[in-house]
């Protein structure tokens, strides 16, 4: 298990410069500070693999939910400078905000040439290291495939038997919130119906996955790769894509302009976007590769085949706080 900072450590690190001093007083160059909201059961083996192919580099992982990670980054930026070498989150609008504030380094990995344009920043400030989709995860002991809803509206018919993670804590759920709100087929009517039907809102992705795996709920609004990992671990689950479109999320890799170890950061980005890195993610993490020359997990589409709702990145960036506040007024 990699080193994961606790809440107290997170607070202290905001106040204390993140510099590792070697014997002789020189700053070490064998460290990579990774801030991520990815599930740890995927991050740990991925980091181990990176360290195997890049001997001598040690990765120090700070993990938290997407919202908490963003709060840490903004706090560091305001207090002094961002101390991450690589930020790998689940909310593309966050990367856009960092770019617009001049906090990201331009870096176009040589391996990014194999990544479709829709997964790359046009100005070279970030590239998606993974792409995944929000759809429906159901407990196969409690629901047959024929009973699974086929549209986003049908999902709401399950009322208090359904659950979803809060977009106030989960980056993927916030993307889904914005995508549905900005789509005239759903809008805020969808969310008001969810409230009226008493659909359960839990804190984060881990909470809803635990709930559906244990049988507390037969169905949740769930993520494809997280479901795949739980199935591999023996959970009685399956995932389906809504007929009216998944919410496909690009998960951007970004290097802060203040990265303490920029060369190591570039190595990490190169590794994730390499064929070997994407093959590892597809095999171990059940993720759709961002490279079309890497086969997706069985039953998954390639990046170019995903049928997704439109993702309103501009609205998420410009009005994200307002969207979150309106959700909070409804559900909390």
What DSSP assignment string belongs to 293-331?
A: TSPPSTTPPPGGG--B----HHHHHHHHHHHHHHHHHHH
Mean pLDDT of 62-91: 92
Q: Considering only the top CATH level, what class is 7-131+249-301?
A: alpha beta
Q: Which two tokens stand for residue 141?
A: 């002991």
What is the per-residue pLDDT for 1?
Answer: 36
pTM of the full structure: 0.76
Query: What is the CATH topology of the domain spanning 133-248+309-331?
Result: D-Maltodextrin-Binding Protein; domain 2 (3.40.190)
Is-contact 85 57, C-beta < 8 A? no
Q: Please, which pLDDT band fits residue 23 given cuts at 50, 70 and 90?
A: very low
Q: Which residues contact 331 (CB under 8 A, 6 or more apart)?
A: 166, 195, 201
Closest to 225 in 3D by CA, of 164, 177, 288, 319: 288
What is the per-residue pLDDT for 3?
Answer: 35
Q: Which helix (H) or strand (E) holds 86?
A: strand 86-88
Q: Which two tokens stand for residue 296?
A: 């997706």
Q: Considering just the CA atoms, what is the radius of gyration of the chain in Å?
A: 20
What are the tens digits of pLDDT across the range 110-121? 999 999 898 999
Domain boundaries, the chain: 7-131+249-301, 133-248+309-331
- Whole-angstrom distance, CA of residue 84 vs CA of residue 1: 19
Is there a common fold for 7-131+249-301 and 133-248+309-331?
yes
Q: Which two tokens stand for residue 204?
A: 């984060």
Closest to 316 in 3D by CA, of 327, 306, 305, 307: 327
What are the tens digits of pLDDT across the range 39-62? 787 889 999 999 999 999 999 999
Is-contact 131 246, C-beta < 8 A? no
């Amino acid at each position: 298990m990699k080193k994961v900072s606790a809440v107290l450590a997170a607070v202290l690190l905001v106040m204390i410069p993140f510099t590792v001093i070697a014997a002789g007083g020189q700053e070490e160059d064998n460290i990579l500070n990774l801030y991520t909201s990815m599930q740890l059961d995927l991050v740990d083996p991925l980091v181990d693999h990176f360290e195997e192919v890049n001997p001598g580099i040690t990765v120090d992982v700070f993990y938290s939910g997407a919202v908490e990670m963003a709060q840490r980054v903004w706090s560091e930026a305001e207090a002094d400078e961002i101390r991450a070498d690589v930020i790998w989150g689940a909310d593309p609008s966050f990367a856009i905000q960092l770019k617009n504030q001049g906090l990201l380094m331009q870096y176009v990995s040589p391996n990014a040439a194999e990544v479709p344009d829709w997964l790359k920043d046009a100005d070279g400030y970030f590239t998606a290291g993974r792409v995944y989709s929000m759809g429906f995860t159901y407990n196969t002991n409690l629901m047959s495939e024929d009973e699974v809803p086929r549209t986003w509206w049908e999902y709401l018919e399950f009322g208090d038997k359904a659950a979803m993670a809060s977009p106030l804590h989960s980056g993927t759920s916030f993307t889904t919130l914005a995508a549905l709100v900005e789509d005239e087929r759903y809008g805020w009517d969808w969310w008001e119906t969810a409230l009226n039907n008493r659909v359960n809102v839990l804190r984060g992705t881990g909470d809803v996955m635990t709930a559906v795996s244990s049988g507390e709920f037969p169905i949740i609004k769930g993520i494809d790769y997280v479901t795949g990992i739980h199935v591999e671990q023996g959970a009685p689950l399956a995932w389906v894509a809504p007929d009216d479109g998944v919410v496909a999320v690009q998960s951007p890799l970004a290097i802060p302009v203040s990265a303490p170890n920029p060369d190591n950061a570039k190595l990490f980005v190169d590794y994730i976007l390499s064929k070997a890195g994407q093959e590892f993610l597809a095999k171990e993490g059940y993720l759709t590769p961002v490279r079309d020359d890497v086969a997706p997990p069985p039953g998954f589409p390639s990046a170019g085949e995903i049928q997704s709702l439109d993702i309103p990145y501009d609205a998420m960036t410009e009005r994200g706080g307002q969207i979150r506040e309106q959700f909070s007024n409804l559900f909390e």
